[in-house]
Amino acid sequence: MSYFFTKCLLMSIPWTVVAAAVALNVLSTKHTPAFPLDASEEVATTRWNTQNEGVIKERIQRIALPFEAKYNAKVRTYIQDYVVTGHKQTEDILGRSMMYFPIFEHYLSIYRLPKELMYLPIVESALKPTAKSPAGAAGLWQLMPQTARSYGLKVDGAVDERLDPYRSTEAAVRVLASLHKEYKDWRMVLVAYNCGPTKLEHAMRLAGSKDYWQYEKYLPAQTRRYVPAYVAAAYVVHYPHKHKLKARYPSLHLRETRVLKVYQALSFREVAAACKMAPSIITTLNPGYLQKAVPRNKRGQFLILPASAVTAFKDYLADKNAKKASLTVPANKFKSSYVVAKGERIQNLAKLFQCSVQDLMKWNGLSEAEVFVNQELIVYLTKDLLSKRA
């Protein structure tokens, strides 16, 4: 992977590449076009002014990153580029974070990794799921095709799951987990994620040390910029108001969403008609389906929809499959719904709703004992449980 940053102080989209194949071999590099310079002298003064270096250092130290973060000239430069030269793009990133951070946190929690790793895709793709690099990396986490396939993702002419926020995030988190199992040090993990284990180990051999500040100078130039860029991204997420940054949120249809698993072939036109939505909304939420259609799949395919459209779509599927009345309400229980929160597992939900995992799977037509953040589930509750939720 690589982080490309222009020398002319333009705020660039920092894409990186994950190419850690099964054996975690060398990762590919790439570069990306820069953001346009959009900071006038007035804007620069308003957003940076005469910031006290000590104050910024103290703020960074308060951020619970997975390693000790130093505030130095490199970090300062990247923070300035986020809050001054690229402030408009940063406000877009902050707006998109509400769409994707819950997904990142969900899988980081499931795999028991630090939630602060969710800032990496800011460096990777500026939180754009359709981001692509000249080297062939794609998605929020900029996965290379070989890496994606080695972690179970489908990449072909019909589906590119690197662009799927759910499947790509789980694959990237598995890469990070594998690297941490190898190195036991999160700064090393970020370096290996960026330039590959081979180059990391070569740098450590040249330095004769595993101390980042000793082997950093032997890393590729792009990698030397990667860790400071990550620290700067974390800072901007935590302290946007200190630099007069305001998140620019996507439309309500794009930020208030639910995810379903569907097993049959569906065109986006069909889905949009059922949801009474423009097909463009379905396309934007589901960029991984390259032919604007969800192919049939026995394991199920993720379909992300506006929250307001889920009921209509479920009714449409029930009518289409003639199964609308197939689920009868169990005795002494009442039908309700529940939206899965980040990090929740189906086993915990079964305990919460006093039912079995098999019940939840049956009620929701699930083929696997797995749930996902923002998934809307049908649940049947006792009167007591229902009143507690009211």
Q: Return the HEC string of the chain.
A: CCCCCCCCCCCECCCCCECCCCCCCCCCCCCCCECCCCCCHHHHHHHCCCCCHHHHHHHHHHCCCCCCCCCCHHHHHHHHHHHHHCHHHHHHHHHHHHHHHHHHHHHHHHCCCCHHHHHHHHHHHCCCCCCECCCCCECCCCECHHHHHHCCCCECCCEEHHHCHHHHHHHHHHHHHHHHHHHCCHHHHHHHHHHCHHHHHHHHHHHCCCCHHHHHHHCCHHHHHHHHHHHHHHHHHHCHHHHCCCCCCCCHHHHCEEEEEECCCEEHHHHHHHHCCCHHHHHHHCCCECCCEECCCCCCEEEEEEHHHHHHHHHHHHHHCCCCCCCCCCCCCEEEEEECCCCCCHHHHHHHCCCCHHHHHHHHCCCCCCCCCCEEEEEEECHHHHHHHC
Residue 311 lies in a domain: yes
Q: Based on the domain organization, do 232 and 86 belong to the same domain? A: yes
Question: Same structural domain for residues 256 and 356?
Answer: no
* Same structural domain, 169 and 133: yes
CA distance 160 to 314: 25
What's the CA gap between 72 and 139, in Å, rounded? Answer: 30
Structural domain ending residue among the three candidates 210, 243, 276: 243
Q: The domain that contains 218 carries what CATH number?
A: 1.10.530.10
Tell me whether residue 144 is in a domain: yes
The answer to whether residue 29 is domain-embedded is: no
Q: Are residues 130 and 211 in the same domain?
A: yes
Total tally of structural domains belonging to the chain:
3
Residue 279 sits in the same domain as residue 332: no
pLDDT for 10 equals 34
Full pLDDT tens readout for the chain, 390 residues: 433 333 233 333 333 333 333 333 334 334 333 343 444 555 555 677 656 788 999 999 999 999 999 899 999 999 999 999 899 999 999 999 999 999 999 999 999 999 999 999 999 999 999 999 888 899 999 999 999 999 999 999 999 999 999 999 999 999 999 999 999 999 999 999 888 899 999 999 999 999 999 999 999 998 999 999 999 999 999 999 999 999 999 999 999 999 999 999 999 999 999 999 999 999 999 999 999 999 998 888 999 999 999 999 999 998 888 755 556 677 788 888 999 999 999 999 999 999 999 999 999 988 899 999 999 999 998 877 777 665
User: 339 has which bridge partners?
Assistant: 376
The answer to whether residue 32 is domain-embedded is: no
| One domain for residues 79 and 208 | yes
Parallel, antiparallel or unpaired: strands 257-262 and 301-306: antiparallel
Within-domain flag for 2:
no
Indicate if 239 and 191 belong to the same structural domain.
yes
Residues 87 and 213 in one domain: yes
pLDDT score at 40: 52
- The closest of 175, 154, 64, 168 to 125, measured between CA atoms, is 168
Q: How far apart are CA 245 and CA 88, in angstroms?
A: 8
Q: Which residue has the tokens 């095709």?
A: 145
Q: Residue 117: what residue type?
A: L
**Spatial separation of the C-alpha atoms in residues 362 and 262, rounded to whole Å:** 14
The answer to whether residues 208 and 317 belong to one domain is: no
162 within some domain: yes
* CA distances, 32 to each of 39, 128, 158 (Å): 20, 13, 25
Using the 3D structure, point to which of 190, 220, 243 is the last residue of a domain.
Answer: 243
Domain final position from 286, 303, 324: 324
Q: Examine the domain organization and report whether 298 and 377 are in the same domain.
A: no
238 and 256 in a common domain: no
Domain span at 272: 251-324
- Are residues 206 and 280 located together in one domain of the fold? no
Q: Is residue 36 part of a domain?
A: no
CATH of the domain at 364: 3.10.350.10
Residue 122 located in a structural domain: yes
